[in-house]
Structure 1
Amino acid sequence: MHVIVVGAGIVGVCTAYFLSQEGMRVTVIDRRSGVAQEASFGNAGFVAPGYTSPWSAPGLRASLLTGLFKPEAPVLLRPSLDPAVWRWVRQWLGQCRADRSLAHHEIMQRLARYSGDQLRGLRETHTLEYEQRTGLLQLLRSDRDVAASLHTRRVLEATGVVHTVLSRDETAQLEPSLARAIEIGTPLAGAIHFPNDESGNCPLFARQLSNLAEEAGVTFLFNATVRQLTAQAGAVQGVRLTEGRTLSADAVVMCAGADSARLMRPMGVRLPVLGIKTYSANVALRPDTIGPRQTVMDEAYKTSITPFGQRLRIAGTAEIGSRDATLRNKALRTLSRVGMDWLPGRLDMSRTAWWSGVRPMTPDGPPVLGPTGMPRLFINSGHGSQGWTFAAGAGRIVADLVAGKAPAIDLTGLDIGRYTRKN
Structure 2
Amino acid sequence: MKTIVLGAGVIGVATAYYLSERGCDVTVIEREPGVALGTSFGNAGVIAPGYVTPWAAPGMPGKLIKYLLKPTSPLIFRPTLDAAQWRWIARWLRECDLERFRVNKQRMQRIAYYSRGCLHAFRAQHAFEYGRSQGYLQLFRSDYDVELAQPALGVLRDAGIAYRELDAAGCAQIEPGLAWSQVKPVAGIYLPDDEAGDCARFTRELRAVCEASGVKFVFDTEVLALEATGGRVSGVRVRPVPGRRTANNRRELREQRREDRRAPAQVLRPADLNEVADTEPQTLTADAVVVALGVESAALVAPFGVRVPLYPVKGYSATLPVVDEQKAPRAALMDESLKTAITRFGPYLRVAGTAELGDHRTTLREQALQTLMKVLDDWFPHAATLSSAQFWVGRRPMVPDGAPLLGQSGVQGLWLNVGHGSTGWAMSMGSGRVVADLIAGRAPEIDLDGLTLERYRR
Does TM, normalized by the shorter one, top 0.5? yes
Partner of 2:453: 416
SS at match of 1:262: helix
Partner of 1:149: 149
Q: Retained in 1: the 8 A contact 2:329–2:344?
A: yes
Q: Retained in 2: the 8 A contact 1:227–1:241?
A: yes
Q: Does residue 189 of structure 1 match 2:226?
A: no
Q: Retained in 2: the 8 A contact 1:115–1:391?
A: yes
Partner of 2:82: 82
Partner of 1:253: 290
Query: What residue identity is the alignment partner of 1:49?
Result: P
Partner of 1:375: 412
CA shift in 2, pair 1:6/1:288, >3 Å: closer
Query: What residue identity is the alignment partner of 1:58?
Result: P
Q: Retained in 1: the 8 A contact 2:316–2:394?
A: yes
Query: What residue identity is the alignment partner of 1:397?
Result: V
**The 10-residue stretch of structure 1 (218-227 or 159-168) with the greater mean CA deviation from structure 2:** 159-168
Partner of 1:158: 158
Cα offset, 1:187, TM superposition = 3.6
Partner of 1:301: 338
Cα offset, 1:127, TM superposition = 1.3
Aligned mates of 1:354, 1:108 — CA distance in 2: 29
Cα offset, 1:287, TM superposition = 4.7
Greater C-alpha radius of gyration: 2
Q: Does residue 8 of structure 1 match 2:4?
A: no
| Matches for 1:5-44 after TM superposition, within 5 Å | 5-44=5-44
SS at match of 2:313: strand
Cα offset, 1:346, TM superposition = 2.8
Partner of 2:386: 349
Partner of 1:237: 234
Aligned mates of 1:325, 1:420 — CA distance in 2: 32
1:6-44 per-position Cα deviation (integer Å, ceiling 9, x unaligned)? 000000000000000000000000000111000000000
Cα offset, 1:284, TM superposition = 2.2
Partner of 2:423: 386
| Matches for 1:306-321 after TM superposition, within 5 Å | 306-321=343-358
Q: Retained in 2: the 8 A contact 1:10–1:36?
A: yes
- TM-score, normalised to structure 1, is 0.97
Partner of 1:124: 124
SS at match of 1:20: helix
Aligned mates of 2:142, 2:325 — CA distance in 1: 31
Partner of 2:199: 202
Cα offset, 1:295, TM superposition = 0.4
**The 10-residue stretch of structure 1 (341-350 or 399-408) with the greater mean CA deviation from structure 2:** 341-350
Q: Retained in 1: the 8 A contact 2:180–2:327?
A: no
Aligned mates of 1:329, 1:368 — CA distance in 2: 33
Q: Does residue 211 of structure 1 match 2:208?
A: yes
SS at match of 2:371: helix
SS at match of 2:316: strand
* Count of aligned pairs between the two proteins: 418
Cα offset, 1:128, TM superposition = 2.4
Partner of 1:169: 169
1:175-198 per-position Cα deviation (integer Å, ceiling 9, x unaligned)? 1011121xx5x1411100011111
Query: What residue identity is the alignment partner of 1:167?
Result: D
Query: What residue identity is the alignment partner of 2:45?
Result: G
1:214-262 per-position Cα deviation (integer Å, ceiling 9, x unaligned)? 1111100000000111111111011101441110000100000010001
Cα offset, 1:172, TM superposition = 1.1
Aligned mates of 2:168, 2:302 — CA distance in 1: 50
SS at match of 2:49: coil
Is there any run of 5+ residues in structure 1 with no aligned partner, and where? none
Query: What residue identity is the alignment partner of 1:105?
Result: K
Aligned mates of 2:454, 2:288 — CA distance in 1: 19
Aligned mates of 1:145, 1:305 — CA distance in 2: 18
| Matches for 1:265-280 after TM superposition, within 5 Å | 265-280=302-317
Aligned mates of 2:99, 2:455 — CA distance in 1: 16
Cα offset, 1:288, TM superposition = 5.8
- TM-score, normalised to structure 2, is 0.89
Is there any run of 5+ residues in structure 2 with no aligned partner, and where? 240-278
Q: Retained in 1: the 8 A contact 2:58–2:148?
A: no
Query: What residue identity is the alignment partner of 1:19?
Result: L
SS at match of 1:58: coil
Q: Retained in 2: the 8 A contact 1:67–1:77?
A: no
Q: Retained in 2: the 8 A contact 1:172–1:179?
A: yes
Cα offset, 1:76, TM superposition = 2.1
Cα offset, 1:347, TM superposition = 2.1
Q: Retained in 2: the 8 A contact 1:8–1:30?
A: yes
**The 10-residue stretch of structure 1 (297-306 or 207-216) with the greater mean CA deviation from structure 2:** 207-216
CA shift in 2, pair 1:288/1:377, >3 Å: closer
Partner of 2:265: none
Aligned mates of 2:399, 2:325 — CA distance in 1: 43
Greater than 4 Å deviation, 4+ residue runs: none
Cα offset, 1:72, TM superposition = 2.0
